[in-house]
């Protein structure tokens, strides 16, 4: 069962990284933002939250900062999930800065889970972080990955920011760890790509 769960999570992550599925729950993510008015309100709220994150009224601990950033992920995806990528820069001028903070958070979360652990333990810890739990919006790792996927489809400057934060290389290392976790996965994944499963 653990092996099957791992394969399912890895396939979801691969689809996300390759730009595929956003998950079966996406209509519920976007239903709140169905109209232009709601989208505009969501965007205003996102800008307000990010401004408060950047300029807090009192000093925040790292944990508090991370929690605030996680709270913005569902809203960001609701606002920009079905928008053209050009909207990112036009409607959210701080989007590059947002990308930087999100990228650093993902790298920190992965490194924290991989530190001082065996390959298998590190792999499993990262898989659990990226897994969808009860729903997408309450799954911090998955929402972070969804945000990164959305940002990566934008202007090349977003990729440059991610690269500066070592996000692409960190995600590649994750894939190597995942393959180590389950030796049969590579064979099954290759078969899936060839349409044999």
Quote the pLDDT of residue 183. 56
Quote the pLDDT of residue 155. 87
What's the sign of the alpha-carbon dihedral 159, 121, 67, 80? Answer: positive
Quote the pLDDT of residue 18. 52
**Helix (H) or strand (E) run with residue 14 in it:** helix 2-18
pLDDT at 25 over 50: no
Name all contacts of 132-135 with Cβ < 8 Å and 24+ positions apart: 132/12, 132/23, 132/25, 135/25, 135/28
pLDDT at 177 over 50: yes
pLDDT at 187 over 50: yes
What's the whole-number average pLDDT of the chain? 80
Q: Phi then psi for 180, rounded to 5 degrees?
A: -65, -35
Q: What is the CA radius of gyration of the chain?
A: 17
- Its pTM stands at 0.74
> Which region among 35-39, 98-102, 113-117 has the lowest average model confidence (pLDDT)?
35-39
97 and 54 Cβ atoms separated by less than 8 Å: yes
More confident residue, 104 or 25: 104
Q: Where are the domains of the chain?
A: 46-194
Using alpha carbons only, give the angle 133, 134, 137 rounded to the nearest 5 degrees: 85
| DSSP notation for 113-180 | HHTTS-HHHHHHHHHHHHS--SSGGG-HHHHHHHHHHHHHTS-HHHHHHHHHTTHHHHHHHHHHHHHH
pLDDT by residue (tens digit) across 132-173?
A: 877 777 789 999 999 999 999 988 999 999 999 999 999 988
d(CA 40, CA 36): 6
Contacts of 116 (CB under 8 A, 6+ apart): none
Q: Which residue in this structure is represented by tokens 């001028």?
A: 93
Q: For 18-27, what is the mean pLDDT?
A: 44
Q: For 18-45, what is the mean pLDDT?
A: 58
At 136, list the tokens.
């997408």
DSSP state of 107: H
Quote the pLDDT of residue 40. 85
Quote the pLDDT of residue 145. 93
């Amino acid at each position: 069962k653990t092996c099957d769960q791992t394969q399912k999570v890895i396939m979801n992550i691969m689809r996300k990284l390759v730009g595929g599925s956003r998950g079966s729950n996406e209509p519920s993510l976007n239903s709140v933002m169905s109209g232009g008015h709601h989208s505009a309100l969501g965007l205003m709220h996102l800008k307000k939250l990010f401004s408060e994150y950047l300029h807090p009224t009192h000093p925040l601990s790292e944990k508090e900062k991370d929690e605030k950033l996680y709270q913005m992920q569902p809203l960001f995806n609701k606002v920009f999930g079905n928008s053209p990528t050009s909207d990112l820069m036009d409607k959210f001028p701080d989007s590059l800065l947002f990308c930087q903070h999100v990228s650093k958070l993902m790298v920190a979360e992965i490194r924290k889970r991989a530190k001082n652990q065996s390959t298998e333990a590190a792999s499993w810890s990262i898989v659990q972080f990226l897994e969808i739990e009860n729903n997408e919006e309450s799954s911090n790792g998955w929402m972070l990955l969804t945000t990164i996927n959305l940002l990566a489809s934008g202007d090349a400057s977003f990729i440059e920011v991610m690269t500066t934060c070592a996000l692409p290389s960190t995600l590649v290392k994750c894939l190597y760890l995942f393959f180590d976790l389950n030796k049969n996965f590579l064979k099954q994944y290759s078969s899936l790509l060839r349409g044999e499963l």
